[in-house]
Structures are given as structure tokens and as C-alpha cells.
Amino acid sequence: MLVYIVRRLLMLIPILLLVSFIAFFVIELPPGDWVTTYVSQLRASGIELSSQEAQRLSQLYGFDQPTYVRYFKWVQGIVLRGDFGWSFQWGKPVGEVIAERLPITLTISLLALVFSWLVAIPIGIYSATHQYSLIDYLATFIGFIGLATPGFLLAMILAWAANQYFGFSALGLYSTEFLDKPWSTAKAIDMLKHLILPLVIIGMASAGSTIRVLRGNLLDELKKQYVVTARAKGLSEMQLLFKYPVRLALNPVFSTIGWLLPAIFAGEVLISIVLSVPSIGPLLLRSTLAQDMYLTGSIVLILSALTIVGSLISDIYLAWADPRIRYGGLSK
């Protein structure tokens, strides 16, 4: 087991390097760089920057160096000093800008994941044990709608409805009266209220697929002979259900965290933009538009790294929970 974990941890290194390479390649794609964007912005507002001045800026930020040199400098900074580069837009190190907002993104994403399980697991089990019942059809239908409705649309509609029918402004993380107040119970409750909408919307999308996976697996398990045997031996239906088939059927749910996490992070980014939650989402949108390249690249890198670590955890959990997985086999 320990060997397996160490091996997987070691494999993280080349994968993360590859991700950093892709992230950097993506931010290198736009023609020009931050300085040219900045110069044209200044020009638009009537200030003409001399070419020497522009060159000085380029030199200052290292844009005159070839791409691969900058890539190595960037990676070197991250690995050696935890320095993700400089955000031109904010005039602060990228690390600081992200650190302010990453906790909100993480909280919302993880809570949304938990929320989706809380909704999906009971419904999935019920759907499988009561196949073709009304609730089964209803769950399938809602699952489909959850898959088909773009989260940002749902966010818009629900935010509007909350405002229209409850007089509650769902935008942001706090109501305006709490913005500059210190922490208090009232403020915490206010924040929780604002969290409901993003949680439900992000959670619903992944709940839809979880219900389908769980239902399908449980249906397969319930047909197996050990279920018949257990029933013949007189185990009560409840005990029977939760002791064997549900445990087996849940494994794929946890093992697919690796696929769910990217979707959840992506959903969080998009929905935060619509609901103007001060998380990574709006930050990413603004940085991509302004060609604040190190910020964009670092956000893509960090979100991907989190996903990879998340799926690693789920793999380790699976190796521990499911004795059929021979992790030793990987070591040849």
C-alpha cells in the first residue's frame, strides 16, 4: 500500500510538469504580450508611450527573452520559491492575488461536491431499488435537465427569481451592509445564505451524473447471485442492501472524482462570474481579457493540480476500500 502511494506521488511530478507546460503554452498563444496590450490601452486613452519606454517595460518584465527561458524561469520560481510570477494587472505577486480568492473557490467546490453526494446517493439508491417508479422517472428527468442546462443560465434565472420573489440579492458573497463589517454570527449567516445558490447549481450538475452512475451500478449488483444467497439466508432487505451491493456500487462514484472535479471547478468558475462571487472565476475572466499571462497560467495550473491531487486521493481511497484492486501489480 505504502509503495503504491509513494509510486503515485512520484508520478505526480512529470504530470504536473506537463500541466505547467500546457498552461504556459496556452498563455503564450495570444499574439503580443501584456506590454503591447498595456501600450495599446494607453494609446486608446490618449497617452502615447515612446518605443523606448515600451522596450524598457518589456525588458523589465522579461518579455525580450525567448519563450523557453521564461518558461524555465517561471517553473523554477514556483518550485524553488513558491513564486508564481508577477500580476501586471494587480501590481502584486500572482501568489498573493490567488491566495486571497482560492479558499472561496475551494470551499464552494468541496461543499458542492458533498452536497451533490448528499442529494445523489439516497436518490440513486432509491431509484435502483424502486426501478421505474415515479421517483425513479423524476430523478432521471431531473438528472437529464441538470446535465443539459448550462449552469450559468440556471444561475441567472435563480438569482433573478430569488430577487423577484424573496427580495434577496444573491449576487456576491455578502449583503452590502456586511461588506466592511468584522466577522459576526449575522455575517456568517448572511454568507451561508449567499452560498446556497452556487452550491445548489454546481452540485446539481454533478448530482445528475452521480445518480446515473450509482443507479446503473446498483442495478447490476442487485442482479448478482450473492444478493439472492443473502436474501435466502434471511437477511433483512435493509441490512442486505447496505451491507453489500451499496458498498460495491459506491466505489465507482468515488473513483470518478477525478472526472467530477474538473467539471466542478469549471462550473464554479463560470457561476462565480455570473453571481459575482469573489472567487477564482471572475479573476480568471479579467486576467484572460487583460492578457495578465502569469496570473492566467497560474490559475489554470493550480486548478489542474488540485484536480490531479483530488483524483489521486480518490484512487488511494479506492485501493484501500476495494480489495479487488491489486495495487501491487503496478510495480511489476
Partner 1 sequence: MSTQLSERTESGVTGSTPFIDEAEDRSVGSVDERLEAADERFYYANPWKLIMWRFRRHRLAMISLVVLVLLYTVALFAEFVSPYTATWRAEGLQMMPPTKIHVFHEGSLHRPFVYGLEKTLDQETFKYIFTEDTSTPYPILFFTQGVEYKMWGQWPMSIHLFGTGLDAPPVMLFGSDQLGRDIFSRTIYGSRISLSIGLFGVLISFMIGIAIGGISGYFGGTTDELIQRMIDVIISIPLIPFWMALSAALPRTWTSTQTFLAITLILAAVTWTGLARVVRGKLLALREEDYALAAQVAGASKSRIIFRHLMPGFTSHLIVSVTLAIPVAILGETALSFLGLGIQPPAVSWGVLLQDGQDLVAVAQQPWRLIPALFVIGTVLLFNFVGDGLRDAADPYSA
The C-alpha atoms of residue 18 and residue 22 are separated, in whole angstroms, by 6
Beta bridge partners of 86: 93
Q: Which is nearer to partner 1, 211 or 246 (CB)?
A: 211
Q: In 3-state terms, what secondary structure has residue 43? A: helix
Number of residues that bind partner 1 (CB under 8 A): 52
Q: Which of 5, 26, 42, 106 binds partner 1 (CB under 8 A)?
A: 26
Contact region for partner 1 (CB under 8 A) — 50-58, 173-181, 246-254, 255-263? 255-263
Task: Give the footprint of partner 1 on residues 273-312 (CB under 8 A).
Answer: 273-274, 284-285, 288-289, 291, 296-297, 299-300, 303-304, 307-308, 311
Q: Which is nearer to partner 1, 258 or 278 (CB)?
A: 258
222, 245 Cβ separation under 8 angstroms: yes
Task: Give the footprint of partner 1 on residues 109-168 (CB under 8 A).
Answer: 144-145, 147-150, 152-153, 156-157, 159-160, 163-164
- By CB under 8 A, is residue 238 in contact with partner 1? no
Q: What is the DSSP string of 126-150?
A: HHHHTTTSHHHHHHHHHHHHHHHS-
Q: Which is nearer to partner 1, 112 or 274 (CB)?
A: 274
The C-alpha atoms of residue 97 and residue 269 are separated, in whole angstroms, by 16
List the grid coordinates of 82.
Answer: 513558491
Shortest distance, CB of residue 308 to partner 1, whole angstroms?
5
88, 264 Cβ separation under 8 angstroms: no
Count of C-beta atoms within a 10 Å radius of residue 297: 24
Query: What does R_g of the chain's alpha carbons equal in angstroms?
Result: 24
- By CB under 8 A, is residue 78 in contact with partner 1? no
- By CB under 8 A, is residue 270 in contact with partner 1? yes
- By CB under 8 A, is residue 259 in contact with partner 1? yes
Q: In 3-state terms, what secondary structure has residue 86? A: strand
Task: Give the footprint of partner 1 on residues 308-327 (CB under 8 A).
Answer: 308, 311
The C-alpha atoms of residue 281 and residue 294 are separated, in whole angstroms, by 16
257, 310 Cβ separation under 8 angstroms: yes
List of residues contacting partner 1 (CB under 8 A): 14-15, 18-19, 22-23, 26-27, 29-31, 144-145, 147-150, 152-153, 156-157, 159-160, 163-164, 171, 258-259, 261-263, 265-267, 269-270, 273-274, 284-285, 288-289, 291, 296-297, 299-300, 303-304, 307-308, 311
